[in-house]
Chains A and B, each alone.
Chain A
Amino acid sequence: MSWFKRKGSNIRTETPKEMPEGIWVKVPKTGEAVHRRELEDNNWVDSASGYHFPIGSKEYFSILFDHNEYTEIAGNIKPSDPLEFEDRKKYSTRLEETQKKTGLDEAARVATGKVKNQDMVIACMDFRFIGGSMGSVVGEKLARAIDYAREHEYPLMIISQSGGARMMESVLSLMQMAKTSSKLALLNEAGVPYISLMTNPTTGGVTASYAMLGDFNIAEPEALIGFAGPRVIRQTIGRDLPEGFQTSEYLLEHGFLDFIVPRTRLKSKVAKLVQLVLNKNNSKNR
């Protein structure tokens, strides 16, 4: 198999990396190689093993919005470096480098468009951007997504993939939990449906704010979802974690998810759920 061009063969479920380039892609779960086109046509899910490759906002928007048509909201919100934070690297440098590498402005994008003919607002995080961490920009973009959904009475979906709040904005990142939750209180009052989709991984301050506040909390299969990271918990309790701990399946079993949906059925199931909630499930749509 040496003629296959392969890169990034060390993808593990805990730390999603970018989609590897090349025509053939190795499935981390099985070690098999699959054709890239085949993967794309199957929403980046390996049909043999069911492995969900990590994807970003661009791919989720293309999966969900009809004909991949949507209007981006709050695209003009860009990060700053309010604390002039510096660890081994300056935060401002880190931002620039990440923007260059990913072609993204920040760790979330918001768009509105039609999903099976129903207007929706979809916000999607990008794990590739500093671990999908939530700072001021993610908070503001989500706040605007929530406001837009409320003002237009469009159902909202937020797709989370994040290591949690962003350290480099310290308490300002923490306050984004308060900000998004406050906005969701208003959405809740307005009776506009909110679906929270958790993908691999969803942890920390993101889980502990908007990700867990959906009218419907749903997840992709085998995603890592939790508050504290597994490593920290292992340190705390001083022993190994049970098999499947903090997976979507575990959360479903413990009552924190409404259902798990494979990405291949995401659009149809979300559209159906929204139709039912809005009581628009007439025979024409069946």
Chain B
Amino acid sequence: MNYLDFEKPIVELENKIAELSQLTLADDDVLSPELEHLRKRVDELRTSIFSNLTRWQRVQLARHPDRPYTLDYIYKITEDFIELHGDRYYSDDKAIVGGIGSIDGQSVMIMGHQKGRDTKARQYRRFGMPNPDGYRKALRLMKTAEKFNLPIITLLDTPGAFPGLEAEERGQAEAIARNLREMADLKVPVVTIVIGEGASGGALGIGMGNEVYMMENTWYSVISPESCSSILWKTWDYKEQAALALKLTAQDLNELGVIDGIIEEPLGGAHRDHDKAAESVKAYIQKSLKKLLKLSPAKLRTERIEKYSKMGSFIEEQEQVVSDTNKTA
């Protein structure tokens, strides 16, 4: 079990409870009340820590090594999932996975960034950082979905598109750019959920949903706090301040009107209860699809284009009106 610094007090208490309960028989007059008391305290502690998380702590939770990843969600949410591979141009990128499956009888094309759980898997998945081949695979799957009139679900969890030599050579920028324009054009519902890290263009490259949701302990921004710190403060040390300034949590984006809602996680974070986290995600997908599947293909496209056309905040002189990002109802 991995845990973060601020989770330590909780974990310590939990360990104590576990120890004590091993010592305790069913009705121990001395220890039972003590145990009861400890359990209550751990609940209180968890509630108090998790209701006052800083932005940087959210970033850490989003990266928690025990957090459910795309394939965890896919297998918990869908039935009869069949993974589909390859971009048909160059390779099968391991940092983006996708395929066809069924959610309560509705077939969907579901895909997302994929991280690895151990050292070997992390390298295999390139730490969830796709090459252009990943974006092209994702687009291929989306086009296939459109052809067969299936809704698309995309799950975002990446520290960014891979900044490597081959990625540049094969057109990382072109792959992402094309995805943005092609996703704008799609005539089927697209639901996007940030399940972990939403780092910049690497995330957005598969993220142009008709509706976009973020899980409670995730982040989505133009740059990671570390890189922001290194550029603006010229050192890596200001990541916490950068996280603060970037306003990158689900709560922030919801207030800015950039996302359509926040998906609540089990207390203590999604990593504490994968099943429960997946249930929440599934419920939001179902709710969103129910709404979007009623719209015509043309309307789905128009509404998506209008949604993104409204993004931004600026001053329009003459009328002196500040136009803010409008939340789509």
Contact = CB atoms under 8 A, between A and B. Distances in A.
The answer to whether A and B come from one shared complex is yes
Interface of A: 76-80, 82-83, 85-88, 135-137, 139-140, 143, 165-167, 169-179, 181-186, 188-189, 204-205, 207-213, 226-229, 232-233, 236-237, 241-242, 245-246, 254-256
9 contacts: A80-B322, A87-B245, A174-B220, A177-B204, A178-B308, A179-B312, A183-B305, A185-B182, A212-B178
A77 B315 contact: yes
B179 to A, nearest CB: 9
B220 A237 contact: no
Contacts of A76: 316-318
A254 to B, nearest CB: 6
B71 interface: no
B314 A79 contact: yes
B163 interface: yes
A241 B161 contact: no
A128 to B, nearest CB: 18
B253 A171 contact: yes
B173 A227 contact: yes
Contact of B311 (A176, A208, A209, A237): A176
Contacts of B167: 227-228
Contact of A78 (B178, B181, B228, B315): B315
A255 B171 CA distance: 9
Contact of B221 (A87, A170, A212): A170
A220 B321 CA distance: 38
B280 to A, nearest CB: 22
Contacts of A167: 222-223, 228, 231-232, 246
Given A177-B204, A227-B201, A212 B256 contact: no
Contacts of A232: 163
B312 A83 contact: no
B324 interface: yes
B83 interface: no
B contact face: mostly helix, strand, loop, or mixed: helix
B223 A182 contact: no
B43 interface: no
Contacts of A211: 173, 177
Contact of A171 (B180, B221, B245): B221
A123 B201 CA distance: 22
Nearest to A235: B163
Contacts of B308: 175, 178-179, 181-182
A172 B181 CA distance: 18
A contact face: mostly helix, strand, loop, or mixed: helix
Select the residue from A79, A88, A228 with max chain B CB neighbours within 10 A. Answer: A228
B197 to A, nearest CB: 13
A143 B309 contact: yes
A172 B325 contact: yes
Interface in B145-196: 161-165, 167-174, 176-178, 180-182, 184-185
B168 A226 contact: yes
B286 interface: no
Nearest to A91: B245
A213 B173 contact: no
A82 B313 contact: yes
B200 interface: yes
Given A136-B314, A179-B308, A212-B173, A174 B185 contact: no
Nearest to B170: A254
Interface in B213-269: 220-223, 228, 231-233, 238, 241-242, 245-248, 252-253, 256, 258
A185 B173 contact: no
B178 A80 contact: no
A78 B314 CA distance: 6
Nearest to B323: A140
Given A85-B245, A86-B245, A182 B313 contact: no
B208 interface: yes
Nearest to A184: B181
Given A136-B314, A171-B247, A174-B222, A226 B173 contact: yes
Contacts of B304: 182
Contacts of A135: 312
A145 to B, nearest CB: 13
A233 B168 CA distance: 9
Contacts of A228: 161, 163-164, 167-168, 172
B168 A227 contact: yes
Contact of A209 (B165, B180, B314): B180
A171 B172 CA distance: 20
A227 B201 CA distance: 9
Contacts of B201: 165, 174, 177, 204-205, 208-209, 227
Nearest to B302: A186
A207 B169 CA distance: 14
Nearest to B162: A236
